[in-house]
Structure 1
Amino acid sequence: MWKPITSADTPAEPVDLSWREADWPLAGKVGTLITTRDGGVSPPPYASLNLGDHVGDTAANVAANRARVREQLPAEPAWLQQVHGITVVDAASVTPGQPPQADASFSRTPGAVCCIMTADCLPVLLADRAGSVVGAAHAGWRGLLNGVIEATVSAMNEPAANLVAWLGPAIGPDAFEVGAEVRDAFLAHDVHAVQAFDPIGDDKYLADIYLLARQRLAAIGISEVYGGDECTVIDRERYFSYRRDGVTGRMASLIWIKP
């Protein structure tokens, strides 16, 4: 489920109503913001709130779009140069304008904003129930396979049983077609991953990235998981999708400890 952003949720001006917060029990302690493709200045094929500075949109458009998001946040987000890896950085250590190569961040500093960008890959937001540490992971299938969620939880340095996860908008199980090599790689790690692959013939499968993430979370002791019911490919009005469009923008999923 989605929780719309309203003027009661933030002291700044109300944002486009398609922007959302994570619908989980931590809203009183942890701030979240999940953008959609709406509310920005970019023209097609980046229409309109493209936040990616690596997809062909102009620097001026990206800067204007990021400024609109910044108005809703306690600080400049810790933008990352994402490479489908498993490197995790402390969001409070990221210098504005100098994005590190990483695919996840965490923070114990109130007001420091963890941020990842996606356009089909799975954004995973994490926090402990006390609201003392947060994290955000960019979990495309490569990062998910290689352990980006596990690396993020390790960096957060909090018992996994104390953590809650939220799965943001990603390519859904009816749209994520993969080859046998992807399925085989996941099964080599965990035979139970077979449940997440539906054969469609000719060594092709539909993969459920949400289930794969839930399995990884459960394996390390995180059982309280929310979200995971969207599809960026199908919902073209709300979401950017690289798989669907090729040239497209990027959305952001952000999390911070409330000051």
Structure 2
Amino acid sequence: MPIEVITPQWPAPANVGAAITMRSGGCSRAPFDQSNLALHVQDDPEHVLANRRNLVESLNLPTEPLWLDQVHGTDIVYASGADLPESSNAPQADGSYSDQPGAVCAVLTADCLPVLFCNRAGTQIAAVHAGWRGLCGGILRKTVATFYQSPDQLLVYLGPAIGPHVFEVGGEVLQAFLDQAQNPPHQQAIVNAFTARDSAGDKYLADLYALARAELQASGVRQIYGGDYCSYSDSERFYSFRREPKTGRNGSLIWLRE
């Protein structure tokens, strides 16, 4: 059974393909049911590899995606579309970018924010895994810098992440973002993305989508889409590490058609 996917609704060029996987359609068993794509979560590796093959076939991908060893950092690697490493030797990075037709950039998430990029000309793409640490560390602005065009020529899609009504963090997270603000409007947007849970300021609800938009806008990006799912609340379609620490991972992919 083909893995079911969400097709991002954004005005990407016709030669740019993009998809976000849902839980249904694969062969993984509970608690990873059904379409887990991650090898590091203690799922049966044969099931994971079968799900990955299923995904390539059902989306008619030009090549195997460049799967990454994600570490909540800010490193981004180039995806050539050829000479892919074995899964056990996946690049340690939290994003990839490419200008090669046939290359497939991919990230895995279960509450963290997947972010897809392309330029209006349809000649460059990128996929980024942005947990709050990577987002705070500047992975989105680093990704913007990999494109040849100016930021106002980019399109960005924010995939399914934990929603702002359930993502509780400490006050140190707010301060970490404020320390990295690029300008006063960015600083104010960061403040607006946090809602205090107590009078002491020890607990906040954080809006990853708003923080990503603020970072992208401060970096000059104007065309930002998506940001309307909650992985934590939607157990039928998405995995969530905060909901179930032993769980699978959804995939977010983008590629240049040959």
Paired residue for 1:117, among 103, 108, 116? 108
Would you say 1:188 and 2:179 are equivalent positions? yes
The question of whether the paired residues in 1 share the 8 Å contact of 2:137 and 2:180 is answered with no
1:88 aligns with 2:76: yes
Distance (Å, rounded) in 1 between the aligned partners of 2:13 and 2:35: 24
Go from structure 1 to structure 2 and tell me whether the alpha carbon gap of 1:157 and 1:94 turns closer, same or farther (over 3 Å shift): farther
SS at match of 1:156: coil
- The answer for the alignment partner of 2:228 in structure 1 is 229
Instruction: Find the residue that maps to 1:87 and give its secondary structure.
Output: coil
Q: Contact 2:28–2:47 (CA<8 Å) still a contact in 1? A: yes
Q: In structure 2, what residue type is equivalent to 1:85?
A: G
Deviation at 1:184, TM superposition (A): 1.0
Report whether the alignment pairs 1:22 with 2:21.
no
Post-superposition offset of 1:94 = 6.1
Q: Which runs of 4+ in 1 moved over 4 A?
A: none
Indicate the SS of the match to 1:155: coil
Matched, 1:211 2:210: yes
Distance 1:185 1:95 in 2: 36
Q: TM-score, normalised by structure 2?
A: 0.92
Whole-angstrom CA distance in 2 between matches of 1:147 and 1:38: 33
Pick aligned residue for 2:65 from 54, 77, 93: 77
Matched, 1:133 2:130: no
Q: Which amino acid aligns with 2:68?
A: L
Question: What is the deviation of 1:156?
Answer: 2.6
The number of residues matched between the two structures is 245
Asked if the contact 1:86–1:147 (Cα under 8 Å) also holds between the matched residues in 2, the reply is yes
How big is the shift at 1:28?
A: 1.2
Equivalent residue, structure 2, for 1:108: 99
Letter in 2 for 1:96: P
2: CA distance, partners of 1:194 / 1:216? 13
In 1, distance between residues paired with 2:83 and 2:70? 14
Q: Show CA shifts across 1:177-230 (max 9, x none).
A: 000010111122222211000011151000000000000000011011010010
Equivalent position of 2:184 in the other structure:
none
Contact 1:135 1:156 in 2 (8 A): no
Residue 13 of structure 2 contacts residue 122 of structure 2 at CA under 8 Å; is this kept in 1? no
CA RMSD of aligned residues (A): 1.3
**Do 1:123 and 1:167's aligned partners in 2 also have CA atoms closer than 8 Å?**
yes
Contact (CA 8 Å) 1:78, 1:94: kept in 2 or not?
Answer: no
Q: Percent identity?
A: 48
Shift of residue 29 of structure 1? 2.2
SS in 2 for 1:22: coil
Partners in 2 of 1:15 and 1:48 — Cα distance?
Answer: 11
Tell me by how many angstroms 1:80 deviates.
0.4
- TM-score, length-scaled by structure 1: 0.91
Structure 1: how far apart are the matches of 2:83 and 2:151?
25
Deviations 1:109-157 (A, max 9, x none): 0110000000000001000001000011110000000011111121233
2:37–2:251 contact (8 Å) kept in structure 1 = yes
- Partner SS state of residue 197, structure 2: strand
Q: Over residues 77-127 of structure 1, what are the superposed CA-to-partner deviations in whole Å (9 max), with x where a residue is unaligned? A: 000000011111111166231310000100100110000000000001000
Unaligned runs of 5+ in 2: 182-186
